[in-house]
Amino acid sequence: MKYKSLIFDFDGTIADTLSEAAEIYNIIAEENGYKSITADDIPKLRHYDIKKLTKELGISKLWLPFVLAKGRKILKQRIDQLEPIDGMIDTLKQLRSESHHFGILTSNSVENVEYFLDRYGIRDLFTFISSTTKLSGKAKHINSIARTFSMNKSDMLYIGDEIRDVKASLKAGISVAAVTWGFNSKESLEVENPTFIVDSPDGLTGVVAEK
């Protein structure tokens, strides 16, 4: 048996956004008086979930939606600088040939994601792109996607790079592959007990093929 319905995160999973996100955050931090970050800070921050991260950076829950919206707007202006994770495009093409449903659920904007996918010639691989502006809202969106496309949850696999991706998938009752090349560290992802831990894009093919 195989997972026939694959849903991907975008930032850090398909697109290599870690360094760009840090630069964009520092622009916002300078404008709004938040704590800036350096390259030396990133290894430590990769162990944090979103609650601990925002506390460390001094961003209140009230202002977090503003920071995210501003970040998406700046990214739109810099999106030509983004590149895919090395090896990810070939893996996506291989996985698509085995899948019934192939989509993206992201906190980024649909416009940014579609521009990136078009630029690299892979937009046609995906049957849907869904966006949620709430960092804690992915579980509800996963359930909505399952209903909309009449997906069997036992056939669904979410693929993401953050602690919140793992939590949302498990809350929604689907399997999750936590990839270690994105924002959160392998150690922090393992604590959340994802269905799979994947260390390289080509490792996803084996995960999808065998439950």
For residues 170-198, give the mean pLDDT: 97
Sign of CA dihedral 59, 62, 64, 66: negative
pLDDT tens digits, one per residue of 110-167: 999 999 999 999 999 999 999 987 766 789 999 999 999 999 999 999 999 999 999 9
pLDDT at 60: 84
Q: Decide: pTM greater than 0.75.
A: yes
**pLDDT of 1 higher than 60:** no
Q: What is the pLDDT of residue 133?
A: 74
Residue 44 in this model has a pLDDT that exceeds 90: yes
pLDDT value for 65: 83
CATH superfamily of 5-16+84-209: HAD superfamily/HAD-like (3.40.50.1000)
Give residue 3's pLDDT: 92
Q: For the chain, which residues make up each domain, given as ranges?
A: 5-16+84-209, 18-81
- Residues 57-113 pLDDT 10s: 888 888 888 888 898 899 989 999 999 999 999 999 999 988 999 999 998 999 999
- Both tokens assigned to 82: 């983004």
pLDDT of residue 137: 75
**What does R_g of the chain's alpha carbons equal in angstroms?**
16
Confidence of residue 211 (pLDDT cuts 50, 70, 90): low
Which letter, b or e, does each residue of 19-39 get, where b requires 16 or more Cβ atoms within 10 Å of its Cβ?
Answer: ebbbebbeebbeeeebeebee
